[in-house]
Structure 1
Amino acid sequence: MSLEQQLIERLQQLTPSHLEVVNESSGHGGYFPGKESHFKAVIVSEAFAGLRLVQRHQKVYAAAGDLLGPGHIHALAIHAFLPEEWQGQAAPSPECAHAPKAE
């Protein structure tokens, strides 16, 4: 099972009303077809009620568990919202300084 699919399954424990996981590995240095190292997760869940941003991120890290670390997911951009905060807004990721350069 791919890392992306494993991450999706792990994040389901937060009972999201919206979950989007995007493999952004191709925009980072050292990319090769099939590489899974950089992801973005947009998560909308009541599980974040009463939590500050850092606590929301900690909750997501806990759900991802051992998928984060050497040989697995190198970077995870987290966009965590409560349902009343979510308006379907775009959640862009920053450019990577080591991204392959367009020719």
Structure 2
Amino acid sequence: MAMDAGEIERMIKEALPDAAVEIRDLAGDGDHYAATVTSASFRGKSRVQQHQLVYAALGGRMGGVLHALALTTVAPQD
């Protein structure tokens, strides 16, 4: 069962309310997405820590319902 892009965005925004989220379906199959997530929550965190925040927001769906997510995280500049 594939995961809807809207559901991915909703889950990320639920965990990171200030996040700006852009989702692209890479293969048109609902299994392979690219996401760009911008959030002040990422400030001062390593890239790995930023990605861990997003993966935690997805509640363990990575590798299961959500097969692949190419993730770009950005901390906004002031």
TM-score range, shorter chain: 0.7 to 0.9
Query: In percent, how many aligned pairs have the same letter?
Result: 29
Q: Which structure 2 residues correspond to residues 35-54 of structure 1 after superposition, within 5 A? A: 35-54=29-48
Aligned twin of 1:20? 22
- Deviation, structure 1 residue 9: 0.5
Structure 1 Cα separation of the partners of residues 4 and 19 of structure 2 = 21
Deviations 1:7-57 (A, max 9, x none): 01001021244210111123xxxxxxxx21111111110111110001101
The structure with more radius of gyration: 1
Greater strand fraction, Structure 1 or Structure 2: 2
Indicate how the Cα distance of structure 1 residues 16 and 25 shifts in structure 2: closer, same or farther if over 3 A, else same.
farther
Aligned twin of 1:3? 4
8 Å CA contact 2:35–2:70 kept in 1: the answer is yes
Structure 2 Cα separation of the partners of residues 6 and 23 of structure 1 = 13
8 Å CA contact 2:12–2:19 kept in 1: the answer is no
Aligned residues: 75
Q: What is the TM-score with the length of structure 2 in the denominator?
A: 0.82
Structure 1 Cα separation of the partners of residues 71 and 17 of structure 2 = 16
Q: Which structure 2 residues correspond to residues 1-103 of structure 1 after superposition, within 5 A? A: 3-12=4-13, 13-26=15-28, 35-70=29-64, 72-84=65-77
Structure 2 Cα separation of the partners of residues 83 and 7 of structure 1 = 21
Counterpart of 1:22, as a letter, is: R
